[in-house]
């Protein structure tokens, strides 16, 4: 699966992003991929399933790298441009979770103004979930399909996971899950190795948490694994 980074661009109206030109960004991503055992994929694409990546709202994806973030986590990293905002994303697939929640959105409170019509069509501005945590409400807004398994969702957002989001997750982290596709995002273009590693660590943590809740209901299941050890150190605890 691919990872991609969008580097520089010009908005309609002539405003230029104050970042490196595309070729430089691709070189940075290629160097990061090489250091982590990932592969640059020419012409890579992202699924348009989640609101952040929706057709008509995502302006560009300039480069793609693909690979294993952990032994059982294969994903795509990318920097994408939406209107006048940029996000660095990790995209992977968790099809079994849709049995319990067809879609869920976990957005930072201060970023909701950046979301577009795809978010509004899905959430209708009224499908917010109350998880009974004032601390979580101060940082995030959670939305989910009305047909969800409410017990499963509350178990996913356990006190420990809520504290991860508030205290340990990288600054700017949000995530969306829609019909099997998980998109974990950081606001802004992140080209430093430690920032991309932070996104990777958060993605591995989130995938592990979702899979643990799936196992609680469905039992163990053997999935695909990396053919060789991934080029990442273990996530920081």
Q: What is the band of 232 on the pLDDT scale with cuts at 50, 70, 90?
A: low
Q: Which of 46-60, 65-79, 86-100, 218-232 has the lowest mean pLDDT?
A: 218-232
Q: What is the band of 98 on the pLDDT scale with cuts at 50, 70, 90?
A: very high
Non-local (6+) Cβ contacts of 176 within 8 A are 50, 51, 52, 103, 104, 105, 106, 107, 182, 183, 185
Q: In this predicted model, what pLDDT tens digit does every residue of 2-42 receive, in sequence order? A: 333 333 333 223 323 333 344 445 677 778 888 899 988 77
Q: Average the pLDDT over 125-146 and give the result.
A: 90
Q: What is the band of 80 on the pLDDT scale with cuts at 50, 70, 90?
A: confident
Prediction pTM value? 0.84
Q: What is the DSSP string of 199-225?
A: HHHHHHHHHHHHHHHHHHHH-------
Q: In this predicted model, what pLDDT tens digit does every residue of 39-67 receive, in sequence order? A: 887 777 889 999 999 988 888 886 778 89
How does strand 173-178 pair with strand 103-108? antiparallel
- What's the mean per-residue pLDDT of the chain? 82
């Amino acid at each position: 699966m691919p990872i991609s980074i969008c580097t520089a661009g010009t908005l309609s109206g002539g405003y230029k992003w104050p970042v490196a030109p595309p070729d430089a960004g691709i070189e940075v991503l290629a160097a990061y991929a090489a250091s982590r055992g990932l592969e640059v994929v020419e012409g890579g694409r992202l699924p348009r399933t989640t609101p952040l990546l929706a057709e008509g709202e995502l302006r560009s994806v300039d480069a793609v790298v693909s690979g294993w973030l952990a032994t059982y986590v294969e994903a795509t990293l990318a920097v994408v441009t939406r209107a006048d905002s940029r996000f660095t994303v990790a995209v992977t697939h968790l099809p079994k979770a849709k049995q319990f929640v067809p879609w869920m959105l976990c957005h930072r409170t201060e970023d909701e103004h950046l979301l577009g019509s795809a978010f509004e069509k899905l959430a209708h501005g009224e499908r917010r979930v109350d998880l009974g945590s004032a601390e979580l409400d101060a940082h995030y807004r959670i939305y989910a399909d009305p047909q969800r398994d409410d017990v499963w969702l509350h178990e996913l957002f356990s006190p420990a996971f809520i504290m991860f989001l508030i205290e340990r997750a990288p600054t700017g982290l949000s995530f969306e899950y829609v019909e099997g596709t998980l998109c974990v995002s950081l606001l802004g273009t992140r080209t430093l190795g430690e920032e991309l590693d932070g996104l990777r660590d958060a993605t591995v943590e989130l995938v592990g948490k979702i899979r643990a809740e799936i196992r609680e209901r469905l039992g163990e299941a053997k999935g695909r694994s990396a053919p060789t050890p991934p080029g990442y150190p273990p996530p920081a605890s």
